[in-house]
Amino acid sequence: MTSAIKKVIAVILLILLFFFIFGVIPAAIGLGPGGVIPALIFFGLAGFIWKKMTKKEEDDDNKKDNDSLQSDYRLDSRTDLRKDFIQTPETPHNDDDQSVNTDNNQKTHTENIEPIIKATEELPSKKLNVNSLDDIAKLMKRGHIFLEATEWQKAKDIFNEILEIDPENAYAYIGLLCADLKVTNEMYLTNKKVLLEIQPNFIIATRFADVEYRKKLNDLAYRNQFFMNDINIKNKKRLKIFILLPIVICIFLFFLRFPGCFGWGILTPSDDKTSPGIITNWSVRDNQLSIVTKDSTYVQLSYVNWTNPTDTYQGWTAGEAVVNHTYFLPVDFEIATRYEMKLSVFNKNDTSIYQDTTFIFSSTPTSFSHLKVHFLNVQQGDAILIQSPDGQNMMIDGGYGRRGTRDWQGGGVPIALNYLIENNVTYLDYIIESHRHLDHWGGLDDIENSGFITTGQYISNSQTQGYQRGSRLMLGSDVRIDFYNIGFPPNYSGNNINNTSIVLKATHGDVRFLFAGDIYGEVQTNMYSEGFDLSVNVLKVPNHGASSNGSSDERFLIETLGDTFAQIAILSFGLNNTYNHPREMQRFKDFFTYGTNEARDKHTAGSKYSDDCGHIVVYSDGKMVFVWTER
């Protein structure tokens, strides 16, 4: 096996070890695959520090070895000749002093060598007519001059020329070795990170060297062996630290987060407003979150699936503040899945007083039937699927469907129909056509004529099925649907079809929704005057976020979302639509607002706005409202 293949295998093994330590282990103990990202930073810093440490140690070792070599290492006659050759005219040569001060004189050597090289290059380009040992010595001096000048290839050419004349010249083989390893002097061979005794040129040189020179070569090999052993020892120590340190960190983090595995959690105060001691106990058992607080409180939470970070939920208390909280969490219950939850508890009377805690829990195969409200991303238009806990389905509008040929209309794709099929919906108990605009009824026509889905009652302005303002129906046994508008409101003199929108309020325990169609300010004002209870947790913003004709003005937003802890607004609109919906996004800055696509005016919506969410699913267990987004 070649050294290159060995290096490739070593790199592969190192990568596998890296992902095991920072991927598999953290995921297994609940830290998640996100541990790979800080691991990259850690490895980068560690590699940089290691390189610096290694460089410093090598510099120290080189200096120590050079000092030792300069004190007791005697160069052969070739070095003496070379020293004669590179002396400056002003510096007399002392034959007794045979040491080479390379640390302090390297620059001087190079400066002195340059004119000599120039002079030697002026010699005839043809090979010298070698007929004596003196001529070989001159070539040898010339080769060593090129070594000193770091002209490696020229040095090789000279030494190869010598070997053509004298194939058993040990000094030439060492010169070649110096050029190959890029060292300016043979005494520096000891500090190269290669084993000299296995280098071919070194082996041949040892074979042809005389007794005295062989002794010097053996001394070089011994010093090199000592140097390599020292490096191996240091590398083994560094490797142990490099491997053990991340393992120790993982163990530390495991014990830091270990209580979360049992639902105990870890208090992590977020800022100076945090008031420790509000929470007295909390746990997650069979996907049920239980919290006990000292005073009446509201709860806000978010939790993320460690194996799928896009699977993230946010939740808010829907009803009144209480001391004992119990909520059923929407999770992936088919397989045990690990989640990390951030839990925030707010004082009822002063929400600036709160306590945060973060902990880890695992889902169990225990299902709970939530109310699910799907706000489909059908581009420009509305499409809402409501699924009651006991399995009844209502569809409100369907977008353009196949009739929307432009991209912002859905590109002619029956998005609503496809979504129902993908989610195994085969029967709709109710279909609500809010009003007769194509971006609302077009997709409903796809569904009715698909042959895949059967339907019950179809309710529209032209087919009221006996429903009118103030009417009520039950979707299953737990979800109440109230009609707040159907057709033009009383005493309305206009003729805008948007104001015929069927407006529905859905109630599931403490959780309330308002589906407002495309109504304008006139219908909003009429609902105020008739005393309809508009206070909800989730508002489907009318007319795709338009601001004209009093739609979703400040009063309407306060009437609907201003009197509840969970304040959620849903904006359904098409990307780059020609209406420039939604507009005046600053209206929503106080609410948790979710847009199905990217809004042009998103920079004014504030920090609570979530842009380009795709499909949005809102869950209710009757006490808390949870929001999940496709992206």
pLDDT per position as a tens digit, 66-123:
444 443 333 333 333 333 333 333 333 333 443 333 344 334 334 444 444 444 444 3
pTM value? Answer: 0.62
User: What is the C-alpha separation between 138 and 531, in angstroms, rounded?
Assistant: 113
pLDDT digits (tens, 9 = 90+) for 338-388: 899 999 999 888 877 888 888 898 888 878 899 999 999 999 999 999 999
Query: Regarding the domain delimited by 73-209, which CATH topology (the fold level of the hierarchy) does it fall under?
Result: 1.25.40
What is the architecture, at CATH level 2, of domain 263-362? Sandwich (2.60)
Of 416, 502, 508, the closest CA to residue 453 belongs to: 416
For the record, the structure tokens of 355 come out as 């306590």
Cβ atoms of 622 and 596 within 8 Å: the answer is: no
Low-confidence ranges of the chain (pLDDT < 70): 1-4, 6-8, 10-11, 13-132, 235-247, 249-276, 333
Longest CA–CA span in the chain (Å) reads 125
Total Cβ atoms within 10 A of residue 220: 23
∠ CA 559-563-569, nearest 5°, is 70
CA 481 – CA 483 distance, rounded (Å): 7
- Residue type at 27? A
Q: What is the spatial distance between Cα 618 and Cα 630, in angstroms, rounded to a whole number?
A: 11
Return the domain boundaries, the chain. 1-66+233-259, 73-209, 263-362, 371-629
Q: Which two tokens stand for residue 192?
A: 């190269």
Q: How crowded is residue 334: how many other Cβ atoms within 10 Å of its Cβ?
A: 9
Which pLDDT score is estimated for 472?
97
**What pLDDT does 96 receive?**
40
Question: At which residue do the structure tokens 């959690």 appear?
Answer: 265
Closest by CA to 397, choosing from 352, 461, 320, is 461
Q: What is the DSSP string of 181-230?
A: HT-SSGGGGGGSSS-GGG-HHHHHHHHHS-HHHHHHHHHHHHHHHHHHHH
What is the distance between the alpha carbons of residues 87 and 583, in angstroms, rounded to a whole number? 84
pLDDT at 233: 72
Q: Which of 124, 158, 152 is nearest to 140 (CA)?
A: 158
Beta strands in 444-553 (DSSP E): 454-459, 472-475, 479-485, 503-508, 511-515, 538-540
CATH code of the region 371-629: 3.60.15.10
Q: What is the pLDDT of residue 189?
A: 85
Q: Is 421 exposed, middle or buried, given 0-12, 13-18 or 19+ CB atoms closer than 10 A? A: middle
